Amino acid sequence: MDGQAERTATAAGVVLDVVLSLLVVFAFTTLVLLLTGAPPLDSYCQIVKGSLGSWSKITHVVKVWIPLTLGACGLLFTFRIGLWNIGVEGQIMMGAVLTTLLLRMEVDEATAFFASMPAIAHPLQLLKDVGLGYLTLGQPSPPLSVGEGWPLIRYLMDDPIYHAQYVAAIEETINGAFEPAKMAATYQKLHDLIAPYVVGENGEQPGYTLLGSPEEFEAALATLIDHASQRYKAAQEYLSTQVPAR
């Protein structure tokens, strides 16, 4: 019973310390707000909105909170054993240095490094298995491209079955509904359909339109037709480089 009572008393003491600390912080903050003429309740509402008002704000708070919490953990340990720790800034800096080293690791290297930690090693192994072992842990999202910048598509394109289906789909598309003459006819038909309601007597009126002039409307048709032709040529050029793979 003595042990249970001691643990209960210890837990109660911890809770009391936390409550008293929060009360002191709120009392001091409220006093400062009153002295500066700011309404405390509105100020606290703005603090909550500014820190928790959106996911991006919450993310920013967590990003700042983590190193401060880690530094506080170092202080708590030394305080508990009766020592002073004046190296919190150094701990945070070293944490940043070591984190940077980890983020510069490639997936292949990190998989081996974290082999003793399955929760981390398993997802890294999955990335390695699909050919992404050369990525670094801190690498930002790459721009979209069918190459090393978009490795999953590169992985699929290197598969001969998928590649053959991809080439066949391009051929079917550009030689079907997207053939330049058909696209030009479709654009012309749609142009003629909406023209009376854009540049005709029932068309858009000044002040209520984003159209600069009737000439812009006509030029847009030529631009669309030219764009379709250019994309057709680009697809043909790509197919001409894929003949050996087909």
Residue by residue, DSSP assigns the chain as -HHHHHHHHHHHHHHHHHHHHHHHHHHHHHHHHHHTT--HHHHHHHHHHHHHSSHHHHHHHHHHHHHHHHHHHHHHHHHHTT-----HHHHHHHHHHHHHHHHTSBHHHHHHHTTT-HHHHHHHHHHHHTT-TTSBTTPPPPPP-SSTTSHHHHHHHTSHHHHHHHHHHHHHHHTTTTSHHHHHHHHHHHHHHHGGGTTSTTSPPTTS-----HHHHHHHHHHHHHHHHHHHHHHHHHHHHSGGG-
Q: In the listed set 152, 167, 184, which residue is the last one of a domain according to the structure?
A: 152
Provide the mean pLDDT of the chain.
79
Q: Both 115 and 166 in a single domain? A: no
Q: Both 7 and 88 in a single domain? A: yes
Confidence category of residue 77, pLDDT binned at 50, 70, 90: confident
pLDDT of residue 142: 47
Q: Both 165 and 207 in a single domain? A: yes
Confidence category of residue 1, pLDDT binned at 50, 70, 90: very low
Q: Both 227 and 195 in a single domain? A: yes
Average confidence (pLDDT) over 149-162: 70
| pLDDT above 60 (res 245) | no
pLDDT of residue 138: 80
Can you give the pTM of this predicted structure?
A: 0.37
pLDDT of residue 246: 40
Average confidence (pLDDT) over 17-43: 87
Confidence category of residue 85, pLDDT binned at 50, 70, 90: low
Number of domains in the chain: 3
Q: Both 132 and 195 in a single domain? A: no
Average confidence (pLDDT) over 12-22: 83
Query: Which structural domain, as residue segments, surrounds residue 175?
Result: 159-245
Q: Both 17 and 86 in a single domain? A: yes
| pLDDT above 70 (res 93) | yes
Q: Both 7 and 85 in a single domain? A: yes
Q: Both 86 and 10 in a single domain? A: yes
Q: Both 97 and 115 in a single domain? A: no
pLDDT of residue 198: 79
